[in-house]
Amino acid sequence: MKEVTQTIDTVVNGEAMQCEVPVRMHLTDFLRESLDLTGSHLGCEHGVCGACQVMVDGEVVRGCLTLAVQADGKRVDTIEGLSEQGVLAQLQAAFLQHNALQCGFCSAGMLLSALELVREQPQATREAIREHISGNYCRCTGYQAIVDAIESVLQGKFAPASEART
């Protein structure tokens, strides 16, 4: 079958753009291959590992289970764009401090899951943290350090009101 393309209007990390994309291309391929935003990774490409996660209109989604053409009219935020904002920077610092990453392959997706948790469940227990990151595989750390890092941000100076949901 012939490759079909469509033109999309989207805002990626705050930058409005118009692009022509093959309709069968998923969002993470579009970000990595067309825009050189290689922070989100491709592990399994069938929704199991969570390494591909990005935000679409403020919600964390699997980039490999979202078509690029579905970003038409939407706002996409990747780890590259979000790193400049307060809570994610805190989480990144906490991940470093707690050795919550080794190879770093899962970190972009893991950090976005953590960001959503901190925004939506600021009172989350360790059990709730584990449940919320249960869709993100890490093959290095054994998760303990990741839970420690997220918990440290939840218990720290984080004030939900200080950050608008973007």
Residues that bind another protein (CB under 8 A): 1-4, 6, 22-26, 29, 45-47, 50, 53, 59-62, 64-67, 69-70, 72, 112-113, 116-117, 130-132, 134-136
Nearer to another protein, 96 or 139 (CB): 139
Yes or no: say if 152 and 94 are a contact pair by the CB < 8 Å rule.
Answer: yes
Yes or no: say if 1 and 40 are a contact pair by the CB < 8 Å rule.
Answer: no
Yes or no: say if 58 and 166 are a contact pair by the CB < 8 Å rule.
Answer: yes
CA neighbor of 107 nearest in space, from 37, 28, 52: 52
Residue 59 CB neighbours (<10 A): 8
Smallest distance from another protein to CB 134, Å: 5
Nearer to another protein, 96 or 144 (CB): 144
Nearer to another protein, 13 or 53 (CB): 53
Smallest distance from another protein to CB 108, Å: 12
Nearer to another protein, 17 or 44 (CB): 44
Yes or no: say if 40 and 53 are a contact pair by the CB < 8 Å rule.
Answer: yes
